[in-house]
Amino acid sequence: EAVLARITGHAVVASLETERKTIPAPMLHSLLELQKEANKFYGMTSSDTLKIAQSLYEKKLITYPRTESKHLPTNFAQHIERNVQAAQSVPQLQQAVQYIAGQNTSRIMQSKRYVDDKKLTDHHAITLTDVTPTFGSLSMAEQRIYELVAKRLLSIFLPPYTFDETTVVLTSGGETFKARGKMVIEKGFTALYEQHKKK
Supply the residues annotated as catalytic. Answer: 64
- Please report how the helices 140-155 and 31-42 are oriented relative to each other, as an axis angle in degrees rounded to 10: 120
Q: Return the number of other C-beta atoms located less than 10 Å from residue 34's C-beta.
A: 26
Closest CA to 30 of 164, 127, 157: 127
Q: Within 13 A of 113's CA, how many CA atoms are on the CB side?
A: 12
* Inter-axis angle of helices 94-101 and 140-155, nearest 10: 30
Q: How many CA atoms lie within 13 A of 146 on its CB side?
A: 33
